[in-house]
Structure 1
């Protein structure tokens, strides 16, 4: 197993680190930095993080450092005023780090960031009411995150999304009045998700679905009068469940009739 001390102490340009030439001699003397452990000049991000963790006040000095990892780690320790200076950093790793700390009201500045990972983080942190500006994001996973978080009343905008993963998330949260549209989706998983949330009285048309899982879900809750037609379903699992339910319903009806007759004789 590789440990931190197994990784050589070299800077971001691959040169050996020389502590005697470092401007942070005071930190070295205080023990808040040290080779192979905590060093802002090291190319290893964990060592950079340890340096700023024990010397957070120095982070602002490295906002314009040439090595992106230094800027990205420094972003974790900057005050919000200084952090704002990195919103348009040329490196996506830096902007991603910034997106984790910006106040929600400032995150809208990054909704059109060219990097999808940045936008995923933004979509994960924005207030749900502010997500509408990202509904048409070009990346499917950004839209998946939006579908999981946006207000249910706004989900109809994504009900016909080009990606089935997005539509599946929509089907899991959208209002019941939209479920029949999603239950007719071309994707089996979307239909199944919609069917599972659909009221029993709306299930009869889906007993003929091409996917046995949809039919199985339907047969579990179908009104009794539709069960007989499903006892001959091509899938034995569906047919067996239909017969079991039909037998149970018949048994319950017979018991009820017997009870009613008994009561009428008294």
Structure 2
């Protein structure tokens, strides 16, 4: 860090002609790396602060303790990660959300207990797979959904009974076909339909006979073998009979 330039975050001139009183006028202004209304560290404007720090990263660390939450959040994005880590307990959740994008290891695990859901969602998107179990039973479905998107297949069945259908749908999308059997007993027909659309042929044939929801049976048609599709021509639902006829025609052509 250039301490000659960045020993503290610059004061915030308030006059219309702020540049004339800004102590950066002989530095970044003279070098053309800041400009009034465009890239300015002392403006209370997030876009201008971000453009300034993107061009002058040496000032970011000195602004980590700034009273303005947005300046701290932007500084946390551009400062060295080890310096940004000191804002792990910042009072503002937006700052902590940025910090969560910069951390790793035990520090990132610490934020898995953060009260803000967006912080925990970010943590769930970045934790190494071996630590995702920490958030497996998080109170917020959005956090668990992120876990379901990243958890290795071998541990994903642990989320098959999640209380939120959005999470179970993600499980149904990701489980290997041979492991989808338990999802066919789900109370939500949309979950069962997702599972049915990825089944092995024998399982799909059973769904065509057993599932009471026509949308689930329709999803299974695409995976069923020719004999099961022929049997579906006698389904009680007209739409299933039509879909079965169309599927049978395609199978016979191939």
Match of 1:55 in 2: 56
Q: Specify the structure having the higher radius of gyration (Cα).
A: 1
Equivalenced residues, count: 241
Is it true that 1:84 corresponds to 2:85 in the alignment?
A: yes
Alignment correspondent of 1:255: none
CA contact (8 A) 2:87 2:99 kept: yes
Of residues 216, 230, 233, the one that matches 2:232 is: 230
Q: Distance in 1 between matches of 2:141 and 2:182?
A: 21
Which residue in 2 is equivalent to 1:112? 113
Which residue is 1:153 aligned to? 154
Q: How large is the RMSD of aligned CA atoms in angstroms?
A: 2.7
What TM-score results when the alignment is normalised by the length of structure 1? 0.80
Question: How far apart in 2 are the matches of 1:42 and 1:242?
Answer: 65
Residues 93 and 14 of structure 1, relative CA distance in 2, 3 Å threshold:
farther
Measured in 1, the distance between the counterparts of 2:84 and 2:92 equals 14
Equivalent pair of 1:153/1:175 in contact (CA under 8 Å):
no
User: Structure 2 stretches of 5 or more lacking a match?
Assistant: 1-10
Consecutive unaligned residues in structure 1, runs of 5 or more: 1-10, 253-266
| Equivalent residue runs for 1:87-98 within 5 Å | 87-98=88-99
In structure 1, the residue matched to 2:205 is 204
Partner of 1:215: 217
- Whether the aligned pair in 1 keeps the contact of 2:40 and 2:49 (CA below 8 Å) is yes
After TM superposition, give the deviation of residue 212 of structure 1 in Å. 1.9
Q: 1:17 to 1:51 in 2, by over 3 A?
A: farther
Q: 4+ runs of 1 displaced by more than 4 Å? A: 11-17, 223-229, 243-249
1:24 aligns with 2:24: yes
The 1-side partners of 2:162 and 2:127 are apart by 21
Contact 1:17-1:41 within 8 A present in 2 as well: no
Q: Is the 8 A contact 1:17 1:42 kept in 2?
A: no
Give the deviation of 1:246 after TM superposition: 6.3
Correspondence for 1:41: 42
Q: In the TM superposition, what whole-angstrom CA distance separates every residue of 1:22-51 from its partner, at most 9, and x where no partner exists? A: 232322222222210111111211100121
Cα deviation digits, residues 220-244 of structure 1 (max 9, x gap):
4435554554323233231134346
CA deviation string 1:106-130 (max 9, x = no partner): 3112111111111111111111121
Could you say if the C-alpha distance between residues 51 and 215 of structure 1 is closer, same or farther in structure 2, counting changes exceeding 3 Å?
Answer: same
Q: CA deviation at 1:91?
A: 0.8
Q: CA deviation at 1:163?
A: 0.6
Question: Displacement of 1:170 after TM fit?
Answer: 0.7
- In structure 2, the partner of 1:257 is none
Is residue 41–residue 52 contact of structure 2 (8 Å, CA) maintained in 1? Answer: yes
Deviates more, 1:107-116 or 1:199-208: 199-208
1:186 aligns with 2:187: yes
Determine if contact 2:189/2:213 at 8 Å carries over to the other structure: yes
